[in-house]
Amino acid sequence: MRALRDILLTIAVVAIYLLPAIIADRKKRRSVLVLALFNVLLGWTIVGWFAALYWAFHPDSARTLERIVKNDRRASSQRTINAIMSRSRTRGVRGTEADPKHRDERDRD
């Protein structure tokens, strides 16, 4: 019975210790990994734990969110351009192989 109590107490202490990381994960923060590492490495100090807790509750700034949206849009447009280029290359290769005019030009080179 005592062993079960010790196990439950250990789980509760670890959960409280990692509470800032858990809260950040539940709030879908973008910096959960960094916050969790900060919490694990500096959470043993009272100041570090409260700093991590504040960080978990503190919302992202408007500038940070704007930069994130801008980078996501840029990455999305780059993926679209890459897909279009890839399709045009594959269609171009298929088109030149089927077209006898292009085949004759390649044979001359």
The parent domain of residue 26 ranges over: 1-59
Q: What digits encode the pLDDT tens for the residues 9-50?
A: 999 999 999 999 999 999 888 788 999 999 999 988 999 999
Q: Are residues 47 and 71 in the same domain?
A: no
Average the pLDDT over 60-72 and give the result: 79
- In this predicted structure, the answer to whether residue 61 has a pLDDT above a threshold of 80 is no
Q: Are residues 95 and 54 in the same domain?
A: no
Task: Give yes or no for a contact between 54 and 64, defined as CB atoms under 8 angstroms apart.
Answer: no
Residues 6+ apart with CB under 8 A from 22: 15
Q: Are residues 74 and 33 in the same domain?
A: no
Domain count for the chain, please give it.
2
Q: What digits encode the pLDDT tens for the residues 69-97?
A: 888 899 999 999 999 998 888 887 665 55
Q: Are residues 20 and 35 in the same domain?
A: yes
Long-range contacts of 13-18 (CB under 8 A, 24+ apart): 17/43, 17/49, 18/43
Q: Are residues 4 and 44 in the same domain?
A: yes
pLDDT, position 99:
55
**Higher-pLDDT residue of 102, 34:** 34
